[in-house]
Structures are given as C-alpha cells and as structure tokens.
Amino acid sequence: MKNKIRLERSRFLLTQILPAVALTLLVGFGVLGLLLWSSHTTDHASRDRQSRLVELVVSKLREAAAHDQESVTVWDDAVEQVRLNDTDWIDINLGAWMGDYFGFDGAYVLGPRDQPIYAYTNGGRASPEAFEAIAPEVVPLVDALRSKMRAGDVSQVNEMVLSPGVADIAVIRNRPAIVTVKPIVSDTGNIEQIPGEEYVHVLVRFVDGSLVEELQTDYMFEDLYFSWVAANERGLSSQPLKSDGGATIGYFVWHPYQPGYVIISKVVPVLTAVIVLALILVVTFLALNRKRAKRLAASEERIRYLALHDSLTGLPNRTSFNDRVDEALAEAGNSGISLLYLDLDRFKQVNDTLGHSAGDALIYEFGRRLAALVGEDDIVARFGGDEFALMLRNYADCDEMEGICQAIIDEARRPFDIGGNKVFVGVSVGASVAQVDGMDRTELLRKADVALYYSKTTGRGRYSFFSQAMDQALKLRQHTETDLRKALSEEGQLLVYYQPILSSESHKTIGYEALLRWRHPENGWISPELFIPIAEDTGLISQIGTLVMREACIAAAAWSEMTVAVNVSAVELGDPDYAARVRSILEDTGLEARRLELEITESAATDENSIAGDNLRSLRNMGVRIAIDDFGTGFSSLGRLHSLNVDRIKIDKSFVQGLGPRSDDEAIIRAIVDLAHAKGLKTTAEGVETKAQEERLARIGCDDLQGFLYSVAIPLWEVNRSLVFGAKEQDLSSQTS
C-alpha cells in the first residue's frame, strides 16, 4: 500500500510536475535570456558610443588647441615681437594668455634653431630652459613642422585653418598631453620669413585634468579617470589614448552608462518573482487538480463499490456474486464449486413485531456470522431481503458439504441479540454442486433455489441438495399453479361435491361436507390433496375458499335443516377479513349461521391469540359451528382437547381404518369420544368403509359417521335428487305405516 502510494506520487512528479515546472522554467529563462541578450546588445552599442565620444572629444580638443594657437601665431606683431625677443610681450600674448584664457598647461617659444626663448609652465612664466624637460617629445614635432614649412606644404590650410601645424598626443612630464606646434607667421604676408626657420610656438594641454572633468560634467561620464593601463575590472570601459604614431599613451577609464543593465537590474527581480509565482501557481494547480482527480477516483471507486456491494451488510451483492461465480466456473479445474441459497425462516415476524431496524440488525449480524464461517476463497453475498447466497470452493465431498450446511443452520439457530431482545430465527438452505448439477451459473443458482424451496416446504431449518425429483415436483407445482388460475376463471373445472354425513343413531343424513373437485381439461381429476397446498402457497386459496363457501351456502340454503361443512385452510383463517367475508356470504345466501360448520385444522384452533383466533371467535359469536378436522394427526394431544373452543371433533380416518380385532385404535377413538362428550362436543368418524367399522363406532358412541360406506362425494344435482327421492321414500313409508 505504502509502496503503491509512493509509486503513484513519483509518477505524478515525473509525468506532471516535472514537465510543467520545466516548461515554466523554459519560458521564464527564455524571456530572461532574450532580455539579457537585448540588454547586452544595447549596452554594447552604448559602450561603443561612449568610447567613440571620448575619442571625438579628444580629437576636437586637439583641433581646438590648434585653432586657439592660431589666434596668436598668425599675427605680424607676434613675428616682430619674437624677433625682438620682447619677453614681456611674449609672456602676455603667447604665454599667460594661453594659460589664463585658453587654459593650456604649458606654452613655449622656440627660435629658428630650436633654441627655447620663452617658457610658460605651472601657471606662470618660467626659465626658457624649462623646455629641456619636454624637448625629447616635442622636438620631433617641431622638426616635422619645419620640414613641412620648408616643403611649402599647405595641404592643411583652408578657410578654418590658417597655418600648417603639427600636433600629437604625448607624455609630457609624466602626464598625457596634447602637444600642438605652430610656426609664428605673418598674417598679412608683409614680413619676409625663411620657410623652415620660423619661430615656433608650442602648446601643451594635459588631458588627465580639466579634460577629465569636462568629460564627467559635460558628457556625464561616470567616474572617468586617466590610467596608464587598461582597466581590467569588469564593468569598466577603457578607451585608449594613442599618439599619431599608434603608440598607446594610456587609457580613459569610466563606468559606462548601460541602459540595458539598468533595465535588467529592474526587470530581473520582477521577472524572477513572476517565474517563481508562475511555478507556485503551476504546482498548486497541478496539486489541486491531482487532489480533485483523486477525489473523483475515490468517488468512482465508491460508486463501483456500491454497485457491487450490499449497502447494509457490505457483502457482495447479486451482480458481483454472479460475476465471481462466472469467473470461478470459467477457471480450469473448477471442480468443488457449490452454490448455496439461503433464506431466513420467520424473518418476516421479526420485521413485523420488532421493526425494520431490528430486521436490519439481524440481517447484518447473520451476514457477519456467515462470513466468519466460510473460507477465504468462498463468497458470501446478500441478494436482498433475507436472502443470501454462498459460493463454496474446495469442499471435496458430500460429508464436508453437509458439515458446512449444518454449521450454517446451527449459526442461524443461535439466538440473535437485537436491541436487548433475544431473537430466534432459522435458515433454510438449498445447494447445488458444479459439474453434478451443471456448469452454468444460472442453472446452478436455479437448482440451489429449487432445493431451497424444497427445504422450506419440508419443514424449514434444514438443508437440501438439489435432485431431479425436486425439479419435477417444482415444475409440476408451477404448471398446477398456472392451470389453477385458469380453472378459477373458467366455468366447469372447479366443482363442489358433497359427501353425506349420517347420524350413527338414526342412519339418516344430517348434513354434507363440501369437497372441492378439479376436473382438469387434459389431466382429468386432480386431487385436492395435491392442489390445495399449492393454492395455499400462492394465495389462490382465498379465492377458492370463497367459491366453495358461496356454493355450499347456496346449496344448503335450499335444504331444510341439514348442515353443510366447509373445509377452511389455515391460510384463510389468517386473513383478518375472513369472518366478515363469511358473514356477508351467509347474508347473501340467507343460510342460517348454525347450519354452517367450518372444518379447521387442530393447529389453527389452538392459536388463540392470533388473527385466526379472532376470526374463530367472531364466527362462533355469529353462530357458525367449528369442527376440528383430522383430529389425531399433527400435534394433537388428548390433553389439549380441554382447551379447544370448538363444537365438534372429526376423528381422522386413519384411526377408523385401523379399527381391527387387535388394535389400539379403538382405545384411542374411545378416549377421544369420551373426552369430547365430557366437554359437550359432538364427534364425527371419517372414512367409514365397512359395516364392521360402523358397528364398532356406534358402540363406542360416536355421534356421526362419514365414509364411502354411505357415499362418496357427489355433485349437487345428485344430492338434490336423493333428497327428493329420500323424501318420497319417507312419504311412502309413512303412508304404509
């Protein structure tokens, strides 16, 4: 179980959570990657631009320096004053002016042979020898200028640039600087000058000072500084500062402005949060979904369970029992399978007297007992009501089968403790055995049912194995039932015959017993002994009884004085309306109640506190007589005669026919008659067939006699004819006397 749950969980993780998380991450990282890529591209472009800007600013500065220089070097006054070596003038115009006004860091004037004649440095006039410090870097530029002048190269000169010049980037006094060199020339052209031998003006502007500041403030370069080496820290940009010869002087280093990075640094946390949220949502959704799916599966499972199980006992129901029997029967080597059909005895009484919940409790408990009795392979099912079915396996022989059947019966007999009451029931069992009784489930169940029926009709609380004879008996019953229904709806099949009852004293007919006859259209006469029990089982008896009662009453009403006896089944007496029905028939037919005698069984007469008892009391109050039929059979005991509230005892024909020279029957009959007389009851002996029997019965003192000796039961028309005939005979005899 645990393993199954673990397996199921890891499958869920593998097939659902993992792909969903992977997909979410993929999308998330895809978006992130795209963003990073675009920001990287943007930043790259931006850094590039800034580098070019630095380059541009430096080259503009160079141009500006040359331009600024021209304002003082292309000037007749300047040519004249340097020739005169008027150092004060030079200082004001070519030195301090350059420093103070244009912000140069150094200004020098060299003579025609490169001899320094003036120097301005560190914000003030200096000794011309100060030039020596920068000579190594500057002299090559001056030489280049002079050769340009000598060559008359004016390619640089245009509307904006007034004189040729040479400029470069160099390290001056350990600082990077723009150095620009221009000849001091006449602006008018009026002063004669030898090309290449002009006075030369040198300007120096450091680029690590004010330029850095300018780049920071005007161009908003962040943390820009000059460095001799390229920045190796990540995230810093460096732009090399190169001399015209291609030598790298140093680098401008700054924190580049990276718009992509700015965006990314703002977007990434949000995006991360979104991804995490999406992950949480996805996982939660899947988990919820799984939960719902699980719940659904559980409820499906429950529905399936309910469909296959009995809700009261939790045992398999008919459907699942059938399925499992089919499976078992289909298996190879399936011998030893038997089916048991069970039906509780007296369950209806429990339900009626103690209520349905008590009935339920009993069913539940019985189901539990059954389940405890059988093996693992066996199945106990409830089919509904008080019906159970079992499939037993591996009960090899008859003895074992009988053993389990008896155990089931014993379990059912053990009292049930229901809500403080001890309840006694029983169970009837029918069994069929696979292979012996067939291999088809329907057939086997039907046969078990037939056997159950047999158990029930032969006394209940017992088990029976199916036999062919049972089947035939049942089939006969079924046919009989159908035919009986038909007979009831058709004229001429069910006929009431009458058997006379004579006074043993006068030998005169004092009344008749109505006996039902069935003339079956195909099978001929069918004995009431055969069809009455079936009518009782099927409930047809009430219709039949009413039919006989009505005809008998009609017949008797036409007779003078004579009584009519009608047989009443115990089933009829159990109907609360029975007495009322008899009353209405008496009223309809006009027969006096005292001329009607009902023949009932002994057990119906003893059951005082029941519906039958109520019926009998009402009937007796009406004046109807009650006789006990077949006295001496069944549970009869002579002792019980005292308590019976009846008018007549009919001694069973088995005693009468047992009257022989040496038998106990005479003594029994005598005892019955004496007791009956002592209680004031009349007696009738049935089945009188011989004169000898007649004589013995007369001697014993039996009141009335009935039997083939006098007449079999005859149709009404014959009764009426004999009555007329008898009356004539009587008339005749009275006339002759």
- Per CB under 5 A, residues contacting Ca ion are 567, 599, 629-630, 686
Q: E-strand spans in 162-270? A: 166-172, 175-183, 200-206, 222-227, 237-242, 248-255
Q: Which is nearer to ligand C2E, 393 or 653 (CB)?
A: 653
Q: Which is nearer to Ca ion, 68 or 686 (CB)?
A: 686
Angle of CA points 277, 278, 284, to nearest 5°: 90
What minimum distance in Å lies between the beta carbon of 554 and ligand C2E? 14
Rule CB under 6 A: is residue 653 a binding residue for ligand C2E? yes
**The two structure tokens encoding residue 480:** 């009989």
Environment class of residue 475 by beta-carbon count within 10 Å: exposed (0-12), middle (13-18) or buried (19+)? exposed
Q: Which is nearer to ligand C2E, 405 or 532 (CB)?
A: 532
* Interface size with ligand C2E, residues (CB under 6 A): 23
- Judge contact between 545 and 569, C-beta under 8 A: yes
C-alpha to C-alpha distance for 702 and 698, rounded to whole angstroms: 6
Site string for ligand C2E, 481-510 (x = CB under 6 A): ------------------x-----------
Radius of gyration of the chain (CA): 68
How many CA atoms are closer than 13 Å to the CA of 563, on its beta-carbon side?
22
What size, in residues, is the chain?
A: 737
Q: What, of Ca ion, ligand C2E, none, does residue 708 touch, CB below 5 to 8 Å by kind?
A: ligand C2E
C-alpha to C-alpha distance for 702 and 630, rounded to whole angstroms: 15
What minimum distance in Å lies between the beta carbon of 306 and ligand C2E? 47
Between the alpha carbon of residue 650 and those of residues 528, 597, 628, the distances in Å are 19, 12, 6
Site string for ligand C2E, 334-353 (x = CB under 6 A): --------------------
**Torsional class of 67: left (φ above 0), alpha (ψ -120 to 50), beta (otherwise):** alpha
CA 624 to chain centroid: 67
Q: Which is nearer to ligand C2E, 389 or 619 (CB)?
A: 619
Among 476, 437, 470, which Cα is nearest to 456's? 470
What minimum distance in Å lies between the beta carbon of 514 and ligand C2E? 6
What minimum distance in Å lies between the beta carbon of 409 and Ca ion? 34
Rounded to 5, what percent of the chain is helix, strand, coil? 55, 20, 25
Q: What, of ligand C2E, Ca ion, none, does residue 529 touch, CB below 5 to 8 Å by kind?
A: ligand C2E
For ligand C2E, the binding residue among 68, 386, 629, 694 (CB under 6 A) is: 629
Rule CB under 6 A: is residue 630 a binding residue for ligand C2E? yes
Among 402, 424, 403, which Cα is nearest to 344's? 424
C-alpha to C-alpha distance for 712 and 533, rounded to whole angstroms: 22
- Judge contact between 447 and 432, C-beta under 8 A: yes
Rule CB under 6 A: is residue 237 a binding residue for ligand C2E? no
Candidate ranges 30-38, 76-84, 271-279, 565-573; the one touching ligand C2E (CB under 6 A): 565-573
What minimum distance in Å lies between the beta carbon of 419 and ligand C2E? 39
Q: E-strand spans in 632-702? A: 648-651, 682-685
- Judge contact between 437 and 443, C-beta under 8 A: yes
Closest chain position to ligand C2E (CB): 707
Among 598, 616, 602, which Cα is nearest to 672's? 602
Rule CB under 6 A: is residue 537 a binding residue for ligand C2E? no
What minimum distance in Å lies between the beta carbon of 531 and ligand C2E? 9
Q: Which residues is 566 bridged to in the sheet?
A: 514, 598
Phi, psi (5° rounding) for residue 175?
Answer: -130, 145
What minimum distance in Å lies between the beta carbon of 490 and ligand C2E? 18
Candidate ranges 153-161, 364-372, 456-464, 561-569; the one touching ligand C2E (CB under 6 A): 561-569
What minimum distance in Å lies between the beta carbon of 538 and ligand C2E? 14
C-alpha to C-alpha distance for 338 and 435, rounded to whole angstroms: 9
What minimum distance in Å lies between the beta carbon of 685 and ligand C2E? 10
Q: What, of Ca ion, ligand C2E, none, does residue 197 touch, CB below 5 to 8 Å by kind?
A: none
Q: What, of Ca ion, ligand C2E, none, does residue 494 touch, CB below 5 to 8 Å by kind?
A: none
Q: Which is nearer to Ca ion, 378 or 602 (CB)?
A: 602
- Judge contact between 605 and 628, C-beta under 8 A: yes
Q: Which is nearer to Ca ion, 130 or 553 (CB)?
A: 553
C-alpha to C-alpha distance for 158 and 67, rounded to whole angstroms: 12
C-alpha to C-alpha distance for 178 and 171, rounded to whole angstroms: 9
Q: What, of ligand C2E, Ca ion, none, does residue 601 touch, CB below 5 to 8 Å by kind?
A: none
Q: Which residues is 341 bridged to in the sheet?
A: 389, 430
What minimum distance in Å lies between the beta carbon of 502 and ligand C2E? 12
Q: Which is nearer to ligand C2E, 272 or 527 (CB)?
A: 527
Q: Which residues is 227 bridged to in the sheet?
A: 251
Q: What is the edge-to-edge ordering of all strands in the sheet holding 222-227? A: 222-227, 248-255, 237-242
Q: Which is nearer to Ca ion, 630 or 718 (CB)?
A: 630
Cβ neighbours of residue 375 closer than 8 Å, sequence gap 6 or more: 392, 393, 394
Rule CB under 6 A: is residue 511 a binding residue for ligand C2E? no
Q: Which is nearer to Ca ion, 215 or 700 (CB)?
A: 700
Rule CB under 6 A: is residue 567 a binding residue for ligand C2E? yes
For ligand C2E, the binding residue among 342, 516, 598, 685 (CB under 6 A) is: 516
Alpha helices, DSSP H, located in 335-391? 347-354, 356-373
Q: Which is nearer to Ca ion, 551 or 686 (CB)?
A: 686
Q: Which is nearer to Ca ion, 107 or 566 (CB)?
A: 566
- Judge contact between 220 and 232, C-beta under 8 A: no
**The two structure tokens encoding residue 151:** 């060559």
Rule CB under 6 A: is residue 542 a binding residue for ligand C2E? no
Q: Which is nearer to Ca ion, 686 or 694 (CB)?
A: 686
Rule CB under 6 A: is residue 711 a binding residue for ligand C2E? no
- Judge contact between 180 and 60, C-beta under 8 A: no
Rule CB under 6 A: is residue 598 a binding residue for ligand C2E? no
Rule CB under 6 A: is residue 527 a binding residue for ligand C2E? yes
DSSP one-letter code for 106: E
Between the alpha carbon of residue 220 and those of residues 232, 257, 457, the distances in Å are 22, 9, 115
Cβ neighbours of residue 625 closer than 8 Å, sequence gap 6 or more: 563, 594, 596, 597, 598, 647, 648
Among 724, 275, 716, which Cα is nearest to 512's? 716
For ligand C2E, the binding residue among 548, 586, 672, 705 (CB under 6 A) is: 548
What minimum distance in Å lies between the beta carbon of 540 and ligand C2E? 11
What minimum distance in Å lies between the beta carbon of 653 and ligand C2E? 6
Rule CB under 6 A: is residue 529 a binding residue for ligand C2E? yes
Q: Which is nearer to ligand C2E, 62 or 653 (CB)?
A: 653
What minimum distance in Å lies between the beta carbon of 611 and ligand C2E? 17
Rule CB under 6 A: is residue 713 a binding residue for ligand C2E? yes
What minimum distance in Å lies between the beta carbon of 657 and ligand C2E? 7
Site string for ligand C2E, 665-704 (x = CB under 6 A): ---------------------xxxx---------------
Q: Which is nearer to Ca ion, 93 or 567 (CB)?
A: 567
Q: Which is nearer to ligand C2E, 43 or 652 (CB)?
A: 652
Give the residue carrying structure tokens 């009989």: 480
Candidate ranges 91-99, 361-369, 436-444, 567-575; the one touching ligand C2E (CB under 6 A): 567-575
Q: What, of Ca ion, ligand C2E, none, does residue 317 touch, CB below 5 to 8 Å by kind?
A: none
β pairing state of 421-423 and 416-418: antiparallel
DSSP one-letter code for 684: E
User: Which residues of the chain form contacts with ligand C2E (CB under 6 A)?
Assistant: 499, 515-516, 527-529, 532, 545, 548, 567-569, 599, 629-630, 653, 686-689, 707-708, 713
